[in-house]
Amino acid sequence: MPYFFVGAATIYLILFTSIPLLRGFWFSFTDSLLLAPTEGKFVGFENYRRYLTDQSFYSSLWTTIVYTFVVVVGAVSLGVISAIAINEKLPGRAIFRSMLTVPWAVPGVSVVLIYNWIYNYDSGVANQAVRALGMGQKGWLIDPSLGMFSVAFASIWKVFPFIMLVVLAALQSVPEELREASKVDGADRFSAFKTVVIPHLMPTIRVASLLMTIWSIRRFEIIYLLTGGGPSGATNTIVINVYKQAFESSELGRAAALGILGLLLSLSVTIVYFAVDRKNAKRDSL
Amino acid sequence: MSMNLPLDGNNAIAQLEGEMNILKNLLVKSLVLTSLVLTSLVVVAPQGSAADPKLNAACSKAGAKGQAGDVAFVCTKVGNKLVWKKAKNAAAAKPAAAAVKPSGTLNIAHWDFLAPKYGAEMQAVIKSYEKYNPNAKIETVGIVRAVYETKMKIQLSAKGGPDLFTIPDTFYPELARSNLLEPLDNVFSEATKKTMNESNKGGIWRGKQLAITWQVAPYAFFWNKDILEKAGVKPPTTAAELVAAAKTIKEKTGVTGFAVRSRLAEETPWWIDFNNWVVGFNGGWSDGEKLTIDSPQNIAAVTAYKAVYDSGGFSVGDDASTFRSKFGQGLVGMMIDATGALPAMIGEKVPSKSVGASKLPFPGKSTSQVGILFGINANSKNKALAKDFLNWFLIKDTQQAISEMIGNTSTVATETIVPAAFLLENPWAAAYKENGKSTRSSVPDGFESSTSEIRKEVLTQIEQVLLGKMTPAEALKKAQDNLS
């Protein structure tokens, strides 16, 4: 019976994940072109060698790491603060909850349209705001020094409600008797939060951060549609590079190799997470 | 097949190559078997159906009727032989010929089927082939322009895709090189070939006609007369005047002075747009044998482009959909854009008679072009039907209908007439029609299959010029060196 229950999921995973992954792995050792995928010749590690000796790959890798770091830190901070705020009994709480959840429900393409207008050089809200502050006009999507900030800001706006909802659920499961006990022990509001609530939230925040990290490493639509990897390569993450290699340059073999390198990055994050988690579990059991 | 990681390089490679050889042998065997089966089918099939009738070629049954392109034939006894002769009354022969027309369903893809103004009408024109050939069913497939090439590549690489599809001229070399287009050399009769204009030469690849023209859209320089009047500027005729006019419009009216594409996020359309500056300054990307990216003419073109970008009146950072919307709202003074774009911007706020147009304000006469070709998918299972469709597509009435629908100012596959009433209602159309006589493609001559590589490199360097990190001469030299 257990085999029956896991069977469907296993078949699904084999068909739609394992086989394409293995095929992609094979392509990464060939010089296949997108329009003739079966006619590629085996080239060994040539595709990997070209990337690992190319400075632009490391630039793209660094961009991916910076983008991921900024988005994860931003989204988790904003999500946790928002969750704590809307967990309080305040007037209009339901309205605030709904409003803060909206960005998560907005499709990525719509987010891009909204932010294209916000960042518009001549008439966008962002430039109207900085003009009002006497800071002139900023090229949010055309200035390489602002490109990463602009894209990361739009991404954080889109994804922070996920963290907020998850943390809110965790907050509401903090046992009331623990809070009461800390009060009886003389803890003030901040101490109770630090010693009771935060430890209770940490496992949830860790898992949510891991998911957010993996999603950020592989995020495509917001970045590609806002900047296409520009300006001047400022937002050219590995995923954007994979897309360009595969669908603009039609270099399927090279794109597959880059995809595998991106996969290794995601895997390394997951391995680090589980290593830390295991260490924490051991420490807690002592 | 096992998938060992090549830990021991040479052995693993040898092993993989061995496995590849086994696969190749199997593949060759199956191909030979398939060929044998197909050959036997062809031998068994009646000979009359194997090829289109040709004048004076042998036929098998007196009185039998056939059609090649738009010419009807009748199998006639001449002496002791039966040969194909032209039907005396072609018009009368057509309905009879329809009875022997190929049948099936044709999938036809084009991004313009989604065009807000004329997409539905265009689909209706294409579907009217069903009246010409009642055995056929047409299914139109609209694909968003921004992802058109990507979607087509994915479908074609999986041996799928529509039977017929439009092809941007910048995408055409890649498809032609990959043998994904059905040759059309024997599809059209001599009479039909005579009606096809020069633009169809764009569909010839290494001596073979692989596609015909769907549309060649020229560019023009156009402006909002009301805004220019308010700003007190005359329509510019030189690049220096353009810079001054853009600046004045912004200063005096507050709206954007001039708009064209300038972002790498719109790589392919920016490349086609930017070609206006290059050909307008009598430059070019190649001379047919070597790249000429850093030629003095091209440097002058980039310098002029940078000057207007920095004028203070340029639509910095706007993508095409944004500045086109702004023009339609009366918020942009001047633009350079292709003919298909302008009718979509004209409306209540900017009526047709408020738009003026001319040649580009550059030294040369030429403009860039949005070239759209039309071809048959080499993997199509309905090639005979698709070829019949193409013959119908080239009929005078079909071409005139297509031309009128897309705004009368583009070149289509054959010569068409622009209705006088249309020119009267849309004074800007005359400039497009005039510019259409000397358009130049953005595909580098002699380097067709390297278009995407050249495009990426050149635009990346031009972006550096716009950011003020390089001079035009430095940027173009770098592009030339990197590509050489």
Residue B94 is which amino acid?
A: K
Closest alpha carbon within chain A to B460: A232
- Cβ contact A253:A47 at 8 Å: yes
Tell which CATH architecture fits domain B104-213+372-420.
3-Layer(aba) Sandwich (3.40)
pLDDT of residue B5 exceeding 50: no
Q: Say yes or no: domain A16-114+142-285 is CATH 1.10.3720.10.
A: yes
- How large is the ipTM? 0.73
**CB distance from A150 to chain B under 8 Å?**
no
Provide CB contacts within 8 A for B253, sequence distance 6+: B227, B230, B231, B333
Q: Which of B53-62, B318-327, B372-381 has the lowest mean pLDDT?
A: B53-62
3-class secondary structure, A134: coil
Instruction: Give me the pLDDT at residue B89, please.
Output: 45
Q: Report which DSSP code applies to B66.
A: E
Instruction: Give me the pLDDT at residue A190, please.
Output: 84
3-class secondary structure, B375: strand
Q: Where are the domains of chain B?
A: 51-98, 104-213+372-420, 217-370+429-483
* Ranges of chain A with pLDDT below 70: 286
pLDDT of residue B256 exceeding 90: yes
Q: Quick one: tokens of A118?
A: 């916000």
Q: Which of B157, B181, B267, B465 to mutate to test the interface with A (most CBs of A within 10 A)?
A: B157
Instruction: Give me the pLDDT at residue A204, please.
Output: 92
Nearest residue, CB atoms, A232 vs list B150, B154, B463: B463
Residues in chain B with CB shorter than 8 Å from the CB of A224 are 265
Nearest residue, CB atoms, B13 vs list A36, A44, A141: A44
Instruction: Give me the pLDDT at residue A2, please.
Output: 82
Residues in chain B with CB shorter than 8 Å from the CB of A117 are 322
Q: Quick one: tokens of B416?
A: 């068409």
pLDDT level of residue B86 (50, 70, 90 thresholds): low
Please confirm whether the linkage preceding B444 is cis (ω < 30° from 0).
no
- Cβ contact A155:A103 at 8 Å: no
**DSSP per-residue codes, B245-275:** HHHHHHHHHSSEEEE----GGGHHHHHHHHH
Q: Report which DSSP code applies to A41.
A: P
What's the rounded mean pLDDT across residues B350-371? 94
B16 contacts A250? CB cut-off 8 A = no
Q: Report which DSSP code applies to B413.
A: S
Instruction: Give me the pLDDT at residue B38, please.
Output: 33
Closest alpha carbon within chain A to B151: A247
Residues in chain B with CB shorter than 8 Å from the CB of A42 are 13, 16-17, 20
Nearest residue, CB atoms, A139 vs list B174, B178, B317: B317
Task: Tell me whether domains B104-213+372-420 and B217-370+429-483 share a fold.
Answer: yes
d(CA B104, CA B100): 13
User: Which residues numbered 5-24 in A keep a CB inside 8 Å of some CB on B?
Assistant: 22
d(CA B200, CA B190): 15
A35 contacts B174? CB cut-off 8 A = yes
d(CA B259, CA B270): 12
d(CA B167, CA B149): 8
Q: How many residues does chain A have?
A: 286
**CB distance from A77 to chain B under 8 Å?**
no
Q: Say yes or no: domain B217-370+429-483 is CATH 3.30.70.20.
A: no
Instruction: Give me the pLDDT at residue B87, please.
Output: 63
* Per-residue pLDDT tens over the stretch B365-411: 999 999 999 999 999 999 999 999 999 999 999 999 999 988 888 88
Only one residue has tokens 């690849």, namely: B205
**CB distance from A207 to chain B under 8 Å?**
no
d(CA B250, CA B231): 8
Say how far residue A54 (Cα) sits from the centre of its chain.
Answer: 25
Nearest residue, CB atoms, B317 vs list A121, A228, A248: A121
Distance from CA of A28 to the nearest CA of B (A): 12
**CB distance from B5 to chain A under 8 Å?**
no
Q: Which of A99, A110, A116 is nearest to A151 (CA)?
A: A116
pLDDT of residue B47 exceeding 70: no
**CB distance from B318 to chain A under 8 Å?**
yes
pLDDT of residue B4 exceeding 70: no
Q: Where are the domains of chain A?
A: 16-114+142-285
Q: Which of A26, A35, A47, A260 to mutate to test the interface with B (most CBs of B within 10 A)?
A: A35
Higher pLDDT, A140 or B86: A140
3-class secondary structure, B201: helix
pLDDT of residue B170 exceeding 70: yes
Higher pLDDT, B29 or A205: A205
pLDDT level of residue B57 (50, 70, 90 thresholds): confident
Instruction: Give me the pLDDT at residue B69, please.
Output: 59
Nearest residue, CB atoms, A232 vs list B154, B316, B467: B467
* Per-residue pLDDT tens over the stretch A168-214: 999 988 888 888 888 888 888 888 888 888 888 998 999 999 999 99
d(CA B336, CA B358): 10
pLDDT of residue B308 exceeding 70: yes
Higher pLDDT, A98 or B240: B240
Sign of CA dihedral B243, B245, B249, B252: positive
pLDDT of residue B25 exceeding 70: no
Q: Quick one: tokens of B429?
A: 């159309």
Residue B159 is which amino acid?
A: K
B20 contacts A142? CB cut-off 8 A = no
What's the mean pLDDT when you consider all of chain B?
Answer: 84
At residue B50's C-alpha, the angle toward residues B44 and B52, to 5°, is 165
- Cβ contact B71:B191 at 8 Å: yes
Q: Report which DSSP code applies to A62.
A: H
Phi, psi of B215 (to 5 degrees): -160, 135
Q: Quick one: tokens of B361?
A: 């304000």
Instruction: Express the helix, strand and coil content of chain A in percent, nearest 5 each.
Output: 75, 0, 20
Higher pLDDT, B43 or A172: A172
pLDDT of residue B34 exceeding 60: no
User: For strand B204-205 and strand B208-209, is the pairing parallel, antiparallel, or unpaired?
Assistant: antiparallel
Say how far residue A260 (Cα) sits from the centre of its chain.
Answer: 18
Closest alpha carbon within chain A to B250: A122
* pLDDT-above-90 percentage for chain A: 55
- Cβ contact B136:B130 at 8 Å: yes
Only one residue has tokens 């009301």, namely: B226
